[in-house]
């Protein structure tokens, strides 16, 4: 069995003063070359809080603030289920969340059956350990900026002036268990555990 995450966090003094574990979620890392390409899209929008490239990622499942027992159960079940083959993934467009009041700008992931299966497996694991599934539809993406006060027209103009999105493709060879500070988002995100996928 994997070493207890709670014991590791305790020894490394990463539990908060309230005794709470960091906020957890599963996801995919973004390779450095893709980070660099996405980072070139930063700027040009007032009120945007641009996410640092080293914090780019694709969220699979949100876990939240959990106790030691649940954290260890999740980690153990993810390790047992890490039998998926590696696969290719493609970022192919820019989009926003929030409709007429956009709150985030992101790079969207092209429809990918392997990714959908992997995310569904994570959802099943969370249900198995007693966690409620996320009510939101899974929309795989890399968040680029948190928006405040920008209109939908301003954001649409920004996307237009960025020009055609040249697709960015990379191979997913592992998924990870991330932790984050309890904040409004944007990082820093830390890899707590990694799970390698089988070579395709």
Per-residue pLDDT tens for 61-112?
Answer: 999 888 888 888 998 889 887 778 999 999 999 999 999 999 999 999 999 9
Give the catalytic positions in this structure: 57, 141
pTM above 0.85, yes or no: yes
Among 18-27, 135-144, 187-196, top mean pLDDT goes to: 135-144
Q: What is the pLDDT of residue 109?
A: 97
Question: Is residue 28's pLDDT more than 60?
Answer: yes
Superfamily of domain 23-196: Cyclic phosphodiesterase (3.90.1140.10)
pLDDT for residue 65: 86
Report the b/e string of 103-113 with b at 16+ CB within 10 A.
Answer: ebbbbbbeebe
Task: Give 10's pLDDT tier (boundaries 50, 70, 90).
Answer: very low
Assess contact for 150 and 104: CB atoms under 8 A. no
What's the whole-number mean pLDDT along residues 132-139? 86
Q: pLDDT tens digit string along 179-189?
A: 887 655 667 89
Residue 199 CA: distances (Å) to CA of 27, 111, 169, 172: 19, 21, 17, 10
Q: pLDDT tens, 30-61?
A: 999 999 999 999 988 888 999 999 999 999 99
List the helix and strand counts (H, then E) for the chain.
Answer: 5, 9
What is the predicted pLDDT for the residue at 195? 94
pLDDT tens per residue, range 141-173: 999 999 988 889 999 998 888 888 899 999 999
């Amino acid at each position: 069995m994997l070493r207890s995450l709670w014991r590791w966090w305790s020894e490394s003094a990463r539990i908060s003063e309230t005794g709470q574990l960091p906020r957890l979620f599963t996801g995919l890392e973004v390779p450095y070359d893709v980070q660099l390409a996405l980072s070139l899209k930063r700027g040009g929008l007032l009120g945007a809080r641009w996410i640092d490239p080293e914090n780019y990622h694709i969220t699979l499942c949100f876990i939240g603030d959990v106790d030691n027992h649940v954290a260890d159960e999740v980690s153990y079940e993810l390790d047992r289920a890490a039998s998926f083959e590696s696969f290719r993934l493609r970022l192919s467009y820019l989009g926003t969340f929030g409709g007429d009041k956009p709150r985030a700008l992101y790079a969207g992931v092209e429809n990918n059956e392997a990714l959908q299966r992997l995310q569904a497996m994570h959802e099943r694991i969370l249900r198995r350990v007693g966690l409620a599934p996320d009510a939101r539809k899974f929309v795989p993406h890399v968040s680029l900026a948190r928006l405040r006060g920008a209109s939908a027209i301003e954001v649409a103009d920004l996307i237009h002036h960025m020009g055609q999105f040249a697709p960015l493709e990379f191979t997913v060879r592992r998924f990870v268990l991330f932790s984050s500070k309890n904040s409004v988002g944007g990082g820093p995100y830390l890899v707590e555990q990694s799970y390698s996928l089988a070579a395709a």
